[in-house]
Structures are given as C-alpha cells and as structure tokens.
Amino acid sequence: MSVLERQQEAGHAIRSPVINDFSLVVATANGTGSQTANLTLLRSFFKLGIPVHGKNIFPSNIQGLPTWYHIRVSHEGYIARRPSEILVAFNPATAHDDVQELPSGGVCIYSADLKNLPQRNDLIYYRVPVGELIAGIDVPVKRKPYIANMAYVGVVAWMLEVPLEVVEEALGAQFGYRQKLVESNQQVVDRAYAWAAENLSKQDPFRVEPMNKTEGLIVMTGNEAGALGAVFGGASVAAWYPITPSTSFMDALREYLPKLRKDDQGKPTYTIIQAEDELAAAGMLLGAGWAGARAVTSTSGPGISLMAEFVSYGYFTEVPAVIWDIQRVGPSTGLPTRTSQGDIAFAYTLGHGDTKHPILLPSSIEECFEFGWKSLDLAEQLQTPVFVLSDLDLGMNNWMGRPFEYPDQPMQRGKVLSAEQLQAMGGFARYKDVDGDGIPYRTLPGTDHPLAAYFNRGSGHNEQAQYSERAEDWLNNMARIARKFETARDLVPAPATELNPSARVGIIAFGTTRYAIEEARDRLAHRLPTSLLRLRALPINQAVRDFVAAHERVYVIELNRGGQMHGILQNELPEFAGRLRSIAYLDGMPLTARWVEDRLLKEEESSL
Amino acid sequence: MENPTPPSTDRAQVIKTNAIGLSKKDYDGAPSTLCKGCGHNSIASQIVQVGFELNLRAHEIIKLSGIGCSSKSPAYFLGMSHGFNALHGRMPSVSTGALIANHTLRAIGVSGDGDTGSIGMGQFKHLMRRNVRMVYIVENNGVYGLTKGQFSATAEEGLQLKYAGVNEFPQVDLCMEAIIAGCGFVARSFAGDAKQVRELLKAALSHRGTAVLDIISPCVAFNNEDDSPKSYGYGTKHEKPLHELGFIPYAEEISIEPMEPGEFRTVRLHDGSHISLRNLDSGYDPTHKLAALERLQRAQDTREFITGLIYYNPDRPSLAEVEELDTPLAQLSAEQLRPSKAALDQFLQSYR
Ligand SMILES: Cc1ncc(C[n+]2csc(CCOP(=O)(O)OP(=O)(O)O)c2C)c(N)n1
Ligand code: SF4
Ligand SMILES: [Mg+2]
C-alpha cells in the first residue's frame, strides 16, 4: 500500500506527517538544463542519508521534447518506480496531463508562467513566481533558463524541509565546485526558499528527516560504473559507434581512461576509436582481440544486429571481445529512450550456425563495475565474444551503491602461449582440447617463434587451424566448442538466491526488474511468500536447476513481450518446462512493485 | 604454409639464403587452390619473393584478407606468419583493430575488387582516412571470381561477359577512391608485370600509412576475353607504365646511380628508404593530387591503364602515430593495465 492510500484511509483532513517516503516527478522541457536542478535534489536527499533513486524519462520525438525526472525517496530502501505524489510542473506542453495524473491528496508545485492549469480540489498547489525570483541575478542570458530551474529546487527544499546548507553542498558537487556557477545558482535557491517561507503555508504532509542509510555510498550511472569496470579490467582497445542509450558508456570511458591509464611516460595504455558503424566496431574488436588487446564496445539493439556476422565469426574462430548492449525498445528508432530487456534471445544465439554466447546480466552499479572487468577476463579465458546486457534504466540513471570492490583476482589472460612455452612444448595446435575443458591454446601475432603462427579463418578447420571440409573435423570442433560452453557455466557469475523455506513459488529475474520484484515480494510476504533467484549470467549452472526443482511454480519475470528468458530456461531445463511460467511485459517503462504484485496474485489465482 | 616447420639449419649450401639465413621456401605458404593461370597466384609468388629479398621476419608480419578467390591467397604465402581471413569486405576493420593492438607489426592485406569496391567500400575508405599502416592489395579482376562471374563495381561500363551479360553502370576506380579518401600511397600494376609488382610491394611496405596497390589480376575463368580490359591479352597491350621504379631498402643503403635530370625523381620513404621513379609521362608528378586524379580520368577515357606509383604523399601521420602508441597495447602487463586499489578508492571519492 502506498503512503497515499494509507493517508486516504486515515481520512482526508487529518494528515499525519509522511517522512522520507514519497515519489516526486519534475516535468520540464528538454534543453532547459533541468538535469542539474534534478540531480541537486537527488543529491540533497542522498546527503541527508535517505535511500533515493532518480529516473529520467524522456520520450525521443514528441514536440516540445518534454522530460520527466522521477525521484523516489524511501526510508525502507525501495527504489523501484512508483507513481508520484508530488509534481513539479514546469513544462507548459505537458502540465495539463501531468496534473491529471496526480493521485488524490497529491502536491503540485507549478511555475507561475503556466496558463490554464487544471484546478483539482483534491490537490495541494504551490505557485512559484519564477520570473520574480530570478530577476536581477547576474548570469549570461543563455544561462537564464538554467537558473530558473533552481527556483523549484528552493521551493521543494522549503516544502520538504531540506536544510539549505545540504542543498548548497549538493549544488557544489553538481558543478564540480566551480565557484561562480555554484554562487549564482545558490542565490536563486536561497531566494526561492525565503520567498516560499514567507508567502506559502505548508499544507502537505511530506517531509524529509536525516537518517544514516546512505553513509559511505556512492551515486553513479550504470554506464559510468561499467566503463570504470572496463578501465580496471585493463580494456586497451575500445571501438564504438554512437547510439542511445549506450553513448554515455563510451563518454565515461573517454573521460576515465586518460585520468587512470597513462604509463610512466604519460603515454596512453589504450586507444578509443569511433568507428564508421557497429559492424566496423565489431571488426576492430576482433582484430584487437586476436592480436592480444583487451577489447570492448558498447551499443544497443540495432548495433547488435550489425555486429552479428562478426560475433558469429568470433564464436567460431574463438576470438575474445566484450560487447555491452544497453538495451532499449524495438527496432531502428523503436522507442530509443525507453528501457527494455528485449535483446536476450537475440544476443544469446546471435550468429549463424549453432552460436551461443556467455551473457552477463548486471542489476546494479556494483555489478556493472564488477562485470566491467570480469567480462574482459571471461572473454580471454573462454576465447569468445562475451555480452554484457544492461538496459537504459540502469545505464543512464543515477543509482546508489556501495563503493566498488577492487577486483578480487589477478587479471586473467587465458591460455596464451609465449615463445618459451612453444619451445618447451615443441609446437601447438590452435584448436586442440588439451585440458579437457574445451578451451584451446592460442598464440599472439608477433610471437617470435617459428611454430607460433596459425591462420585464423572462418572456413571449416581442423585442430591445426588448417582448412578442412571433413565431416569429422566439423563435428569434433563444434563438439569441443560446446564443451567450452559447459566450462563457461561455472566460470560466469553465479546467480544470487534468496530462498524462503515457506515458499512454494519461486521467481527468476535478472537486471533492473529486481527492484520492483524485491519490493513486491516484501508486500506479498504474508499473502504469497516467494523465493527469488536473480540470474547474473547465462549460461545457467546447477544452482538454477536446483532452484526450479525446489519450487512448485517458478515465474520468470522480464521486461519484454514474449518471455525470452523464459524460453531460454525452458530449453535449458526441459524436465521443468511445465513449472516455468512467464510473466513478461513491456510498455517502455520500468516495472512497478504494484504491477508485479498484482500479476503474481492473478497468476497464482488462475493456477489454483 | 599450413603446417609450419622451422627453418632447418643443416641445409645443403646450394640453397640460396637471405641475410637472415632463410631460403625462399621459408616464405612459401600452402599450395594454391586457385585456378591455374589466375592472376592472384602471380601476385602471391611476388609476395614470397619480396619477403625473401627484404629479409622479412615472419613474426613481424601479419597477413589479412576479406573473402573471395583473392582473399584466399594469404594462405599461399608467408606460411610462418599469423594470418586472419576476415569477413567479406571487412578486412579494414580487423586490420585496424589488430594494428592498434600491436602497431609494430607490418601488415599485408589482400582483397578483391568485389571485396573492396562493393561490400567493403565503406571500410576501405575509412581505413585510408585513418591512415592505418598496412599494404592493401586489391587483386582486381572486374568480377566476383569466387561466386562465379558476377560483375564487380570495377567492371568497365558496357563490358559484356558470357555469364554476367552487359554491365550498364560506370566503373569504380579504386585508385581515385583511394586518393580522394586521403591515402598517401596509391599505385596500380598488372599481375603479369612481376618486376613492377615487386618494386611497388617493397616501396609500399616502407610507407608510413596505408599503401594501396590496385593490381589488375585477370580471372581466367570469368573475365579473360582479350577485349576485356582486365584480361591478360588486353593488359599486356594496354599497360602504360608511368615510370620505372627502383627500390632501395634503408638497410642496404646503395648509392643511387647518376640520373638524367628531369627523368628521375627520388622519393625518400618514411622509414629512410628511397624510391626512384622514371617519368615516362613527361612532367608527371606523383605528389600532385589533382594531377593524379586527372591522369586516372584520362586513362579511363582512353581505356588504358596506367601503372606505377600514381600518388605519393608521406605527410600524414599513421593512426598509431596519432594515437601516440608506444609499447604495443597487446604487450602491456597486468600492472600497466590495471590501476591500483588506491586509485579506485580515490576516484570514487568524487561520486560520494
Ligand atoms: C556477407 C557475404 N556476402 C556474400 C558472400 C559471398 N561472396 C564470397 S566472395 C564474393 C565476391 C568476391 O569477389 P572479389 O572480391 O572480387 O574476389 P575474387 O573472387 O574476384 O578474387 C562474394 C559475393 C560472402 N562470403 N559474405
Ligand atoms: S575463378 Fe577467377 S579469380 Fe577465382 S581462382 Fe579462378 S581465375 Fe582466379
Ligand atoms: Mg574480383
């Protein structure tokens, strides 16, 4: 039950304070610099020690380019999307609908410039005279709209009782402590706060109180965290082509690498190339991986399709590469600024001729960082392209997390033979399974030994990498690569399981749906106890089989229409195909706990 | 050579060896599976010869290709070097990646006119834009040999072939494309002209960036009717060398013979070696971009092909130079690749 529901039950008139538990949405027009204002609010809550998460919802091509920034504040630590009780209405183009969407008892903070705002008598309105508040502030004309947004920051701070010094600190962090910018913005915040204190009377129940639940935590986007992981994973070649929502991954890499990865002489230990398209980016990755670099790219669905031929080739010729897919919705421009888990099935078997790829599935910034370095290890250990499937929600939004743990194992470079080893072994066969794990040995170009060379070819080949069309060679080679995939099962990150001994129902999920699901499970704790297995990678291992075996029904919840992961799991666990149920949904928005709760109850009712 | 064997040391003295003690055979690859008489085979033989003559060390070379009959040929030369037979039209991106990973390698790439001029045109152009240091050979026969005789984009307008019919579209001139894309070493030759192919190859290997060799290489199966401009018969009759070429490797600095003023031009290559050109076309200047394009257009109009170094400009830095690469990225140690724990903790401070 949301706070408001509880409020309403308690009666409209009596409104006891609601502390550290609300969802706030800021509606602005794109390009007005509202991101700084919104992040200032987010950081203020964070600095007060209250769990918080922000989601930027920005349709890509509606006229006026509206954006909505959702901030969820929750003393219990729930950070899934939830319909907002508090609206900051600063966009004339959407204000009408925005106000209509507020639940009864909600709050509307609106710019005095808005005309014909719907008047609902079940809402609380606070008017902000923006023009008056920014008059006389000394900033260049082009920065005026930016500081205008600070007016709502001041009023929200007043309304929620956020101390001004906390806002100031948050602002400072936002501007990288560039004093002049901080000052002019702070001036507007202060004025708005003072103006509100004098002219408005607080009628709503919402406010914040300091707590200590964010102590020591960091705030970062998933793309930044993944890029930082790649930096510590020793990524040395990055090739890419811009596409929302993956671009900020490369932007972060371009920012971090020069700061963290220069050698003693100040020379870069990396190269980043903006390729002519994703196909070329994939080719550069394979060329670099073959020659011994640690290569990474980031893209989204449409880019993945262009990479298909190379990924297939990389699987078959066994060349390491790491591909981040920050998933968005649909083909071509689909819904390019909306989140989804729609590329699972496509990526898992991308290619022609029996391909299957390891896929890492991060759900948090901690996992983005961890998989950022681990994926590079896995690619070289397994000698194959490895996918990391993130999504727009995780990649582009700011999330709290624990400071990242430094890699807990030395860098894994896989089975690469040096000239000395070759000498001792008296040669090698590129595609021979020496160790029984399906993973062969390789040499790098430049290895100074007469037996080092081999020919990397997409054509059928035997153990010596020689051209071959013999049936046996094909069979043996493909069987070995399948063996390698078996080895991968226990090399990739294991699932995270929360077993509930009284649960007969299990849930399997992955990625960012976890937040809505975790909240829903708590809400259902008494009515429908569940266990949760959060997949952190494909292929699955024994733990997944055991989990399914231990429950009567297992719901696979995912953010797509067709139940792609459900299909993969049914395939992998044919003996349990009947007990695996699909809950798949995609409308472009992250799931809400309420939706998950309702769906689970409905499914359970119909299965009784 | 598919099954590499180390050079034997106890060979009879009669076998001629080069300065690093290798025989020509050590530069061989697997036996060719291409048609007998295919121009591509002649080019592979010249690469073997050049490897021997330049004392190339196998491990310092990589060979790359796309897909096509032409692209098969890296299997037929320098068997002791690593090879990468990529995707159709995608050799450039793979080369770019490999040569960023290890910029000290010297790359010899072989492509076809379909591989380069059709499916791979985009990557071809971007490779030259970036000036990735490699020798890029196009074995140009005007057809798709491997898929049995369809026209490629370099086929002459109006050309009639048994299988493909009449080509209704204007030809793509890969040398022009290369010059326009910013390539600083653009040459054309004819597979039948072994000496010129060798000399151009040697010079190309010394170039600082991408060096394109567009070598007319007749397909005896699908495009060798004498009136076809990419046939042997036509080639030997209509080839018009721009200049005679002598290549002097830096290692064995030879004093250049006295030259007649006006007839010769000596060009110093980036690595210190020289290439000397005999201007047959009076006044032809291979360092003049517009003149080169004009000359190519004239040759197209008169249906002859000029051979030799058509355009030369060593001024642009290679991609590796632009990226300031030092120790090859592929050879960096884990310590060089992974910053310290302190660096991580410090970095995260600004995200608190
Ligand atoms: C993506 C893709 N499309 C089509 C093919 C089929 N294919 C192989 S070689 C070739 C044409 C090769 O022509 P060219 O590069 O001129 O080489 P040649 O055989 O003439 O030497 C084609 C179309 C392929 N291998 N890959
Ligand atoms: S088909 Fe033509 S290009 Fe191919 S090998 Fe035969 S002659 Fe050469
Ligand atoms: Mg051809």
| Residue A374 and residue A509 in one domain | no
The residues with which B108 forms a beta bridge, in sequence order, are B63, B135
Please check the confidence at residue A419 and state whether its pLDDT lies above 60. yes
Residues constituting chain B: 352
**Which residue of A267, A288, A444 is in closest CB contact with B326?**
A267
Looking at beta carbons, which residues of chain A come within 8 Å of B84? 287, 290, 455-456
Residue B64 near residue B83, CB atoms below 8 Å: yes
Flag whether pLDDT at B5 surpasses 60: no
B145 lines ligand 2 (CB under 6 A): yes
Please give the pLDDT value at position B247: 61
Residue B40 Cβ inside 6 Å of ligand 2? The answer reads yes
Backbone angles phi, psi at B166, to 5 degrees: -105, 135
The β-bridge partners of B19 are none
Among A483-492, A535-544, A552-561, B282-291, which is the least confidently predicted range?
A: B282-291
Interface of B with A in 291-350 (CB under 8 A): 323-332, 334, 336-339, 341, 343-345, 347-348, 350
For the cut 60, the answer to whether the pLDDT of residue A62 exceeds it is no
b (16+ CB within 10 A) / e for A134-150: beebebeeeeebbbbbb
Pairing of strands B150-151, B143-144: antiparallel
What DSSP letter does each residue of A323-384 carry, written as one string? Answer: EEEEEEESSTTSEEEEE---SHHHHHT-SSSS----EE---SHHHHHHHHHHHHHHHHHHTS
What is the sign, positive or negative, of the torsion defined by CA atoms of B83, B86, B91, B93? negative
Give the Å distance between the CA of B147 and the centre of ligand 2. Answer: 10
In a domain, A363, yes or no: yes
- Chain A CB within 8 Å of residue B21 CB: no
Task: Tell me how far apart the alpha carbons of residues A180 and A189 are, in angstroms, rounded to a whole number.
Answer: 15
CA distance A567 to A318: 27
Last residue of a domain, one of A401, A431, A464: A401
At residue B231 the predicted structure's pLDDT band, cuts being 50, 70 and 90, is confident
Least confident of B84-98, B270-284, B311-325: B270-284
The residue that leads in pLDDT, B300 or A14, is: B300
pLDDT in tens, B83-129: 999 999 999 999 999 999 999 999 999 999 999 999 999 999 999 99
B89 lines ligand 1 (CB under 6 A): no
Q: Which ligand is nearest to the CA of B142?
A: 3
Residue closest to B86 by CA, chosen among A10, A290, A572, A571: A290
How many helices (H) and strands (E) chain A has is answered by 20, 24
Domain residues of chain B, as ranges? 24-331
Q: What local confidence, expressed as pLDDT, does residue B14 receive?
A: 73
Distance B43 CA to ligand 2 centre (A): 13
Contacts with A408 (C-beta within 8 Å, 6 or more apart), sequence order = none
pLDDT at B329: 98
B338 with A236: Cβ contact below 8 A: no
- Tell me whether residue A409 is in a domain: no
Indicate whether A389 and A241 sit together in one domain.
yes
What is the B35 CA–ligand 2 centroid distance (Å)?
A: 5
The residue of chain B with its CA nearest to that of A177 is B350
Query: What homologous superfamily is domain B24-331 in, according to CATH?
Result: Thiamin diphosphate (ThDP)-binding fold, Pyr/PP domains (3.40.50.970)
Give the tokens for residue A324.
């981040």
A376 and A457 part of one domain = no
Edge to edge, the sheet with strand B239-241 lists: A455-457, B82-85, B61-65, B106-112, B134-140, B210-216, B185-190, B305-312, B239-241
Residues A380 and A501 reside in one and the same domain? no
Structure-block tokens of residue A47: 């600095």
| A52 and A163 share one domain | yes
Which residues in chain A have their CB less than 8 angstroms from residue B80's CB? 450, 453
> Among A149, A174, A207, which residue terminates a domain?
A207
Whether residue A413 is contained in a domain is answered as no
The band of B246, judged by pLDDT with boundaries at 50, 70 and 90, is low
Which residues in chain A touch residue B95, judged by CB atoms under 8 angstroms apart?
A: 287
The phi and psi torsions of A208 (rounded to 5 degrees) equal -110, 155
Using N-to-C axis directions, what is the helix angle for A34-47 and A144-160, rounded to 10°? 30
* HSE, side-chain direction, 13 A CA sphere, residue B3: 2
Number of the ligand closest to the Cα of B37 = 2
Q: Are A14 and A6 in contact (CB under 8 A)?
A: no
Mark whether A396 and A435 lie in a shared domain. Answer: no
Chain A nearest CA to B83, separation (Å): 5
Ligand 1 near B38 CB (within 6 A): no
* Residue B263 pLDDT > 80: no
CA nearest ligand 2 atom 4, residue: B145
Q: Which of A356, A335, A338 is nearest to A346 (CA)?
A: A356
Put simply, whether A241 touches B (Cβ < 8 Å) is no
Q: Compare all CA atoms of chain A with the CA of B61 and give the residue at the minimum distance.
A: A446
**Torsions phi, psi for A33 (to 5 deg):** 75, 20
Cα Dmax for chain B: 76
pLDDT at site B256: 34
Q: Quote the pLDDT of residue B277.
A: 46
Q: How far is the CA of A90 from the centre of ligand 3 (A)?
A: 62
B252 has pLDDT over 60: no
Query: Which of B329, B336, B347 best probes binding to A when mutated, by most A CB atoms within 10 angstroms?
Result: B329
Decide if pLDDT at B280 tops 80.
no
* The domain boundary residue, chosen from A163, A184, A207: A207
Instruction: Please list every residue in chain B whose beta carbon sits closer than 8 Å to the beta carbon of residue A467.
Output: 2, 30, 75
CATH number of the domain encompassing residue A601: 3.40.50.920
Return all residues near B320 (Cβ < 8 A) that are at least 6 apart: B99, B100, B103, B133
On the question of pLDDT at A152 being above 50, the answer is: yes
Residues A431 and A369 in one domain: no
Spatial distance between the Cα atoms of A294 and A444, rounded to a whole number of angstroms: 13
* A563 alpha carbon – ligand 3 mean position (Å): 46
Whether the pLDDT of residue A3 is over 60: the answer is: no
C-alpha dist (Å) from residue B309 to A137, A313, A339, B237, B306 = 66, 36, 54, 19, 9
Mean pLDDT of A1-15: 47
Among B residues 77-116, those touching chain A with beta carbons less than 8 Å apart: 79-87, 90, 92-102, 104-105
How many whole angstroms from A473 Cα to the centroid of ligand 3?
A: 30
Closest-lying ligand 1 atom to the alpha carbon of residue B152: 16
Angle of helix A564-572 versus helix A542-549 axis, rounded to 10 = 90
Could you give phi then psi for residue A497, rounded to 5 degrees?
Answer: -120, 135
A18-56: b (≥16 Cβ within 10 Å) or e: bbbbbbbbbbbbbebbbbbbbbbbbbbbbbbbbbbbbbb
Q: Residues 169 to 188 of A: which have CB under 8 A from any B CB?
A: 173
Is residue B58 within 8 angstroms of chain A, CB to CB?
Answer: yes
Task: Please tell me the predicted confidence (pLDDT) of residue B46.
Answer: 96
List chain A residues with CB under 8 Å of B329.
Answer: 236-237, 269-271, 288, 292-293
Q: For residue B104, what pLDDT is reported?
A: 98
Ligand 2 pocket: which of B32, B35, B141 to mutate (most atoms <8 Å of CB)?
A: B35
pLDDT at B18 over 80: yes
Mean pLDDT of A11-37: 84
For residue B187, CA distances in Å to A293, B70, B178, B269 come to 32, 18, 10, 15
pLDDT 10s digits, A431-461: 999 999 999 999 999 999 999 999 999 999 9
pLDDT at B257 over 50: no
* Residue whose pair of structure tokens reads 């259902």 in the numeric block: A524
pLDDT of residue A144: 81
Residue A76: φ, ψ to 5° = -85, -10
Q: What pLDDT shows up at residue A522? A: 97
List the residue whose alpha carbon is closest to atom 2 of ligand 2.
Answer: B219
Q: Residue A173 phi/psi, 5° resolution?
A: -60, -35
Lowest-pLDDT range, A73-77, A121-125, A466-470, B191-195?
A: B191-195
For residue B261, the model assigns a pLDDT of: 38
In a domain, A407, yes or no: no
Residue A410 forms part of a structural domain: no
Structure confidence at residue A535 (pLDDT) = 98
List, in sequence order, the alpha helices (H) in chain B. 39-53, 69-72, 91-101, 113-117, 121-130, 174-180, 194-206, 232-238, 289-301, 319-322, 334-337, 341-348
Q: CA nearest B33 in A: which residue?
A: A467
Residue A214 within any structural domain of the chain:
no
* Shared-domain flag, residues A226 and A370: yes
Q: Give the residue-averaged pLDDT of A85-90.
A: 97
Q: Do A404 and B348 touch (CB under 8 A)?
A: yes
CA-nearest residue of chain B to A284? B97
pLDDT in tens, B19-78: 999 999 999 999 999 999 899 999 999 999 999 999 999 999 999 999 999 999 999 999
Amino acid identity of residue B296, one-letter, is L
The total of other beta-carbon atoms located within 10 Å of residue B287's CB is 15
User: Within 10 Å of residue A255's Cβ, how many Cβ atoms?
Assistant: 14
- Kindly state the average pLDDT of the residues A197-204: 96
Per the structure, how many domains does chain A have? 4
CB neighbourhood size of B23 (10 A): 15
Q: In sequence order, what are the residues at sequence separation of 6 or more whose Cβ sits closer than 8 angstroms to the Cβ of residue B47? A: B27, B77, B78, B108, B201
Strand A580-584 with A124-128, pairing: unpaired
- Categorize the per-residue pLDDT at B264 as very low, low, confident or very high, splitting at 50, 70 and 90: very low
Closest residue to B347, CB basis, from A260, A275, A451: A260
In a domain, A411, yes or no: no
Ligand 2 pocket, B150 CB below 6 A? Answer: no
- How far is ligand 2, taken at its centre, from the CA of residue B220, in Å? 6
ipTM entry: 0.93
Torsional class of A126: left (φ above 0), alpha (ψ -120 to 50), beta (otherwise): beta
Nearest Cα residue in chain B from A448 = B59
How does residue B283 score in pLDDT terms, banded at 50, 70 and 90?
low
- Do A559 and A586 lie in a common domain? yes
Mean pLDDT of A92-110: 96
**Count of CB contacts below 8 A, A vs B?**
235
The enclosing domain of A164 has a CATH number of 3.40.920.10
Q: Would you tell me which residues 308-337 of chain A have a C-beta closer than 8 angstroms to some C-beta of chain B? A: 309-310, 313
In Å, how far is B128's CA from the nearest CA of chain A? 12
Closest atom, ligand 2, to C-alpha of B139: 3
What six digits make up the tokens of A549? Answer: 């075996």
Q: Domain residues for A425? A: 419-488
Torsional class of A109: left (φ above 0), alpha (ψ -120 to 50), beta (otherwise)? beta
A 482-541 residues with CB < 8 A to B: none
The reply to whether A550 and A506 lie within a common domain is yes
Ligand 2: does its nearest atom lie under 6 Å from the Cβ of B220?
Answer: yes
Residue A213 covered by a domain: no
Please indicate whether residue B13 or residue A367 has the higher confidence score (pLDDT): A367
Q: Does the beta carbon of A225 lie under 8 angstroms from any beta carbon of chain B?
A: no
Using the predicted structure, report yes or no on whether residue B162 has a pLDDT greater than 90: no
Judged by phi (left if over 0) then psi (alpha if -120 to 50, else beta), residue A557 lies in beta
Mean per-residue pLDDT of chain B: 87
User: What is d(CA A487, CA A539) in angstroms, rounded to the nearest whole number?
Assistant: 10
Show residues of chain B in contact with A268, CB under 8 Å. Answer: 323-325
pLDDT of res. B270 = 56
Per-residue pLDDT, averaged over B287-303, amounts to 90
In a 10 Å sphere around its CB, with 0-12 CB exposed, 13-18 middle and 19+ buried, how is residue B281 labelled? middle
Distance CA B285, CA A579 (A): 78
pLDDT of residue A571: 97
Best residue of B3, B100, B324, B348 to probe chain A, by most A CBs closer than 10 Å: B100
Same domain (yes/no): A359, A459: no
Let me know: does A343 contact A389? Beta carbons within 8 Å.
yes
Structural element, H or E, at residue A547: helix A542-549
Residue A156 confidence (pLDDT) above 80: yes
Provide CB contacts within 8 A for A114, sequence distance 6+. A89, A90, A92, A95
Quote the pLDDT of residue B273: 59
Q: What pLDDT score was predicted for residue B269?
A: 53
Nearest ligand to the C-alpha atom of residue B114: 1
Measured from the alpha carbon of residue B219, the closest ligand is: 2
Q: Are residues A105 and A202 in the same domain?
A: yes
3-class DSSP state for residue A70? strand
How would residue B272 be classed by pLDDT, with cut points 50, 70 and 90?
A: low
Examine the pLDDT at A562 and tell me if it is beyond 60: yes
The reply to whether ligand 1 has any atom less than 6 angstroms from the CB of B118 is no
CATH code where residue A374 lies: 3.40.50.970
Closest protein CA for atom 6 of ligand 1: B147
User: What's the token pair of residue A364?
Assistant: 């948090």
Cβ proximity of B117 and B172 under 8 Å: yes
Q: How far apart are the C-alpha atoms of A54 and A57, rounded to whole Å?
A: 10
**Which pLDDT tens digit goes with each residue over A373-407?**
999 999 999 999 999 999 999 999 999 999 999 99
